[in-house]
């Protein structure tokens, strides 16, 4: 934790819901409760630049959702229902008051779920770049998320059926992200090839068990000391329990 965040009165803690242990950071009680929910593959550190400022007027909580940061992993159990149980326990036992809930990306979807299912815990919600999109077929084919999911399915199939670095790199090469309303950008080759090689290398060392690869980024705030940004989790080809053969996306 950064010194200025500690100095502002923030503490990192663990909460046992009885089902999972959740990691969270709590600031001083300077106002209404505000819960910050990071995006998928992110942890509480993603909010570190705004914590001190927000803590001047709010009682800030930042939660690592199950499977993220230092919270427990629950493979194959990351549904709205299970995460909702976590949030209900956390809000009733730790926050204990109706709160302003702000969520980034998938964290915003969780905020929407809380507002709909736990109204007694919700003062207001703030949605930060939330992927609220139509899932109706065939309309979803016009949505950016369709292409993201399609690429994900292709990568999972390559992981299941092949050990080729080249094929995995080709799957990563298809990933695109929007940079404006009418432009997308692909991952550069200097990322896709090392990433594919690293995954294959770790797979060769494993014996079928689930393995994790930590990724790091340089962060100026941390004086160029790398810190964990996200973790890829997978199993060796042919052993994963994620099946894509019968998915709607593949049929169409």
Parts of the chain with a pLDDT under 70: 1, 134-135, 178, 181, 206-252
Domain ranges of the chain: 3-128, 139-251
- Take residue 133 and report the two structure tokens written for it: 């999109």
pLDDT of residue 18: 92
Q: What pLDDT score does 181 carry?
A: 63
| Bridge partners for 103 per DSSP | 37, 127
pLDDT score of 134: 67
SS3 content of the chain, % helix, strand, coil (to 5): 40, 25, 35
Closest residue by Cα to residue 2 from 230, 219, 229: 219
Tens of pLDDT, residues 24-39: 999 999 999 999 999 9
Distance, CA of 199 to CA of 204 (rounded, Å) = 9
C-beta separation of 121 from 133 below 8 A? no
Q: Are 238 and 160 in contact (CB under 8 A)?
A: yes
CA angle 193, 194, 195 (to 5 degrees): 90
pLDDT of residue 224: 28
As a whole number of angstroms, the distance between CA 151 and CA 91 comes to 36
DSSP string, 118-177: -GGGEEEEEEES-------TTGGGGSHHHHHHHHHHHHHHHHHH---HHHHHHHHHT-EE
CA-CA distance, 147 to 174, in Å (whole number)?
A: 9
Characterize the bridge pairing of strands 58-63 and 32-37: parallel
What local confidence, expressed as pLDDT, does residue 108 receive? 95
Q: What is the CATH number of domain 3-128?
A: 3.40.50.1820
Q: What is the pLDDT of residue 115?
A: 96
Look at residue 209 in the predicted model and tell me its pLDDT. 59
Q: State residue 6's pLDDT score.
A: 93
Q: Could you give the CA distance from residue 137 to residue 135 in angstroms, rounded to a whole number?
A: 6
Residue with tokens 């009680």: 29
- From the list 175, 159, 168, 236, the residue with the least C-alpha distance to 197 is 168
């Amino acid at each position: 934790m950064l010194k200025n965040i500690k100095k502002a009165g923030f503490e990192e803690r663990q909460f046992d819901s009885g089902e999972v242990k959740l990691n969270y950071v709590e600031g001083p009680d300077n106002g209404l409760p505000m819960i910050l929910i990071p995006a998928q593959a992110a942890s509480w550190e993603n909010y570190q630049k705004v914590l001190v400022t927000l803590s001047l007027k709010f009682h800030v909580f930042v939660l690592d959702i199950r499977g993220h940061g230092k919270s427990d992993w629950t493979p194959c159990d990351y549904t709205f229902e299970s995460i909702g149980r976590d949030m209900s326990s956390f809000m009733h036992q730790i926050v204990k008051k109706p709160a302003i809930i702000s969520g980034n990306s998938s964290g915003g979807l969780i905020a929407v779920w809380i507002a709909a299912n736990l109204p007694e815990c919700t003062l207001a919600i703030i949605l930060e770049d939330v992927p609220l999109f139509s899932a109706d077929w065939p309309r979803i084919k016009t949505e950016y998320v369709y292409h993201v999911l399609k690429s994900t399915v292709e990568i999972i199939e390559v992981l299941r059926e092949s050990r080729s670095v080249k094929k995995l790199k080709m799957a990563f090469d298809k990933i695109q992200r929007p940079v404006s309303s009418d432009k997308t950008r692909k991952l550069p080759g200097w990322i896709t090839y090392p990433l594919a090689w690293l995954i294959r290398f770790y797979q060769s060392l494993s014996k079928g068990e689930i393995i994790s690869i930590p990724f790091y980024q340089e962060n100026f705030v941390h004086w160029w000391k790398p810190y964990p940004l996200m973790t890829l989790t997978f199993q060796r080809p042919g052993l994963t329990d994620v099946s894509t053969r019968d998915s709607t996306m593949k049929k169409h």
